[in-house]
Structure 1
Amino acid sequence: MEQGGIYVKKLLSVLFISLLVFSLAACGGTNQETAGEAETSSKYPEKPITIVAPSGAGGGWDLTARAIAKVVGETKLVDQNITVENKPGGGGAVFLAEYATQDTKNPYKLFVSSPPILINHSKKEGNSPFGYQDTTPLAQLTKDYGAIVVNADSPFTDLNSLLEAIKNDPTKITAAGGSSPGSMDHLVAILPSFKFGVDPKQVKYVSYDGGGEAIAALLGGNADFIATDASAVGEYVKAGKVRVLAVSSTERLSGDLADVPTFKEAGVDADFTIWRGLFGPKEMSEAELAFWQGKLDELSTNETWLQELQANGWESEYKNAADFKVFLEKQDEVITELLTALDMQK
């Protein structure tokens, strides 16, 4: 009986040791798998990257996306090739609907955006069910301003004369912009009229896919004035093709638009800042987010990038991923208040 008891104790000991060894092996395997996953994530990026401009060529998104790709390529900040793809439609809403449903885990497709990502989600007409919450904000990179632009031979020589004409008969004046009704260009176009005492809903607005098409419409006589990015009109000003009546900045700009008054100088108590930033898919891994955080931090102070900003007439305004997200939350409130004032909120 005693020998049987000893045998049972030995058997239990063997079983215990076997279980212990198995458990340790399993833990080791888990650690190895985790290490393997981390190693895989750390290899990002392993193939070319696309930056999407959700508009046609020539507008602020397109120029910003191409500037990022150009500088990152020239400075070898990222080893992989970066290409730019234009996907116009709905002031960015068409692309975002596709991106937020089909590319949620694709870290090889990033995109540039600005206030329309907030406006499209908050406006009443043509509302987008998707917003910045369906992405991973990576960084704010620049800020720009809106501009009210007329053809060089336009009878309107200043903002006040244009606003008086709109007030006298809104049906005779056509505004245009490179984004859909209720979006950024539209808000910039009607903001002076609204502050001038005109019902913004009476102002005729025609939308085009991108600032380049809007400028073409102006030059072709299909619009009396356009609202577009201040940085996008410099070359047309130098060529003598257009006249900028006012810009939405709080202070006068430099360069080609140095002589252009601000809205406030022109008698309109308003201003509007057009920030631009880079976004990634909603389900980016921590390693992928950390990669871009580091690279964009470097880009923001890179001399080649700062020269590119100056060449395009942009101002540097850098916010990292965390600060950018907080900023977007506050901007969302501001946009909603503006749309509410215009009776255009959802």
Structure 2
Amino acid sequence: MQITTALSFTLAAVLGSSVLITTAQASGEAECIAPAKPGGGYDLTCRLAANGLLDAELIDAPMLVTYMPGGIGAVAYNHLNGVRTDDPNLIVAASTGAAVNLALGKFGQYDADEVRWLGALGVDYGAIVVNADSPYQSLDQLMTALQQDPTQVAFGAGGSIGSQDWMKAALTAQAADVDPKSLRYVAFEGGGEALAALLGNHIQVFTGDLSELKSQLESGDIRVLAALSEERMAGPYTDIPTALEQGYDVQWPIWRGYYMGPEVSDEAYQAWVERLEALSQDEGFAERREARGLFPMARFGDDFDAYVKAQVADFKTLAQHVGLTQ
């Protein structure tokens, strides 16, 4: 019964979206598929493009946002590859989470080469966080503790093993030459619950995201040992060193971007690349992006396509190493 219900829900999601899709296709209007229910990160990603492009007058009419939940993005990915491979007006919201799921084989028969990765309009970054009273004053001290006995350091975050938050912990351990399989990791229902556990000393390290830490930084309740970014972020994050500058090559960008169908023409693809590039340089859009807790990210077209595929390949290697995939 559970399997039948799940399949029926997935089919209903696709069929329910088809009415809107047909309308958008017929009118030639721009459309963004959010591979989830309204209100989540993918909805935010579509709205970021839809509202930004309209306000910047980079599209002539409001962009349609269609919701296609199911399989953590798999339904939308399979739909694009099976039905709308060459639609020049359609973009689909994606994130680092999509790259992780592709690496874990959660999108079925399709891999990262099956779509044209378009670009990203914003990014957040992972962070290695401890309680303000933690004995770990630096990332070096945490790494030394992991090397001595990884079972004595409890990591925790709002995702299960194989999730983005777990990947951050695994990569941190790997940078210290510690086998990620030896880590103690506690999965919580969300980042808020994990942060509460950190403040209550139930876990020692929280692998969160920079944008969700702003209020805690102001309160002085936490210490961020490292930002998992390429360089230091500005504003309230300026005093947080990156893992890289401390000698550990651990980066975790949580990008918000888009892809298109594999058979979209080069002309249509390039037109979208130019739209997103122009939007990323718009002053009004910069304020909109910041209001949503995102930092700038400037990767578009072939550069972004190569970036995502390389990221998926790295995730596959890690997943195989820790036994998540064959």
* TM-score for both structures, normalised by structure 2: 0.70
Distance in structure 1 (CA, Å) of the matches to 2:90 and 2:159: 22
Instruction: Report the Cα offset of residue 281 of structure 1.
Output: 4.5
Instruction: Report the Cα offset of residue 258 of structure 1.
Output: 0.9
Distance in structure 2 (CA, Å) of the matches to 1:172 and 1:86: 42
Query: Counterpart of 1:44?
Result: 28
Query: Which residues of structure 2 form unaligned runs of 5+?
Result: 1-23
Aligned residues of 2:74 and 2:107 also touching (Cα < 8 A): no
Distance in structure 2 (CA, Å) of the matches to 1:84 and 1:235: 33
Aligned residues of 1:97 and 1:130 also touching (Cα < 8 A): no
The yes-or-no answer on 1:258 pairing with 2:238 is yes
Q: Label 1:153 to 1:64 Cα distance change in 2 as closer, same or farther (>3 A).
A: farther
Query: Counterpart of 1:102?
Result: 79
The yes-or-no answer on 1:71 pairing with 2:62 is no
Q: Secondary structure, in 3 states, of the residue corresponding to 1:315?
A: coil
What per-residue deviation string (whole Å, max 9, x for no partner) do you get for residues 300-327 of structure 1? 222222333455351231312x443233
Query: Counterpart of 1:30?
Result: none
Query: Counterpart of 1:31?
Result: none
Query: Counterpart of 1:327?
Result: 307
Aligned residues of 1:176 and 1:206 also touching (Cα < 8 A): yes
Distance in structure 1 (CA, Å) of the matches to 2:63 and 2:180: 45
Instruction: Report the Cα offset of residue 45 of structure 1.
Output: 0.9
Distance in structure 2 (CA, Å) of the matches to 1:266 and 1:68: 35
Q: Label 1:269 to 1:133 Cα distance change in 2 as closer, same or farther (>3 A).
A: closer
Instruction: Report the Cα offset of residue 148 of structure 1.
Output: 0.8
Q: What is the letter of the counterpart of residue 297 of structure 2?
A: S
What are the equivalent positions in structure 2 for 1:148-227 lying under 5 Å apart?
148-207=128-187, 213-220=190-197, 221=200, 223-227=203-207
Larger Rg computed on CA atoms: 1
Instruction: Report the Cα offset of residue 201 of structure 1.
Output: 0.5
Q: What is the letter of the counterpart of residue 44 of structure 1?
A: G
Aligned residues of 2:90 and 2:260 also touching (Cα < 8 A): yes
Q: Secondary structure, in 3 states, of the residue corresponding to 2:248?
A: coil
What per-residue deviation string (whole Å, max 9, x for no partner) do you get for residues 127-157 of structure 1? 8544333433222334443211234454544
Query: Counterpart of 1:119?
Result: 100
Distance in structure 2 (CA, Å) of the matches to 1:113 and 1:230: 19
Distance in structure 2 (CA, Å) of the matches to 1:289 and 1:216: 41
Distance in structure 1 (CA, Å) of the matches to 2:145 and 2:33: 41
Q: Label 1:83 to 1:99 Cα distance change in 2 as closer, same or farther (>3 A).
A: closer
The yes-or-no answer on 1:314 pairing with 2:298 is no
Q: What is the letter of the counterpart of residue 327 of structure 1?
A: Y
Query: Counterpart of 2:217?
Result: 237
Q: How many residues align?
A: 294
Q: 1:135 aligns with which of 105, 115, 127?
A: 115
Distance in structure 2 (CA, Å) of the matches to 1:269 and 1:258: 19
Q: Label 1:73 to 1:187 Cα distance change in 2 as closer, same or farther (>3 A).
A: same
Instruction: Report the Cα offset of residue 55 of structure 1.
Output: 9.1
Query: Which residues of structure 1 form unaligned runs of 5+?
Result: 1-39
Distance in structure 1 (CA, Å) of the matches to 2:300 and 2:39: 26
Query: Counterpart of 1:246?
Result: 226
Q: Label 1:57 to 1:167 Cα distance change in 2 as closer, same or farther (>3 A).
A: farther
Distance in structure 2 (CA, Å) of the matches to 1:188 and 1:100: 25
Q: Secondary structure, in 3 states, of the residue corresponding to 2:120?
A: strand
Distance in structure 2 (CA, Å) of the matches to 1:138 and 1:223: 39
Q: What is the letter of the counterpart of residue 194 of structure 2?
A: A
Distance in structure 2 (CA, Å) of the matches to 1:234 and 1:281: 37
Aligned residues of 1:69 and 1:84 also touching (Cα < 8 A): no
Aligned residues of 1:176 and 1:225 also touching (Cα < 8 A): yes
Distance in structure 1 (CA, Å) of the matches to 2:132 and 2:44: 24
Aligned residues of 2:29 and 2:64 also touching (Cα < 8 A): no
* TM-score for both structures, normalised by structure 1: 0.67
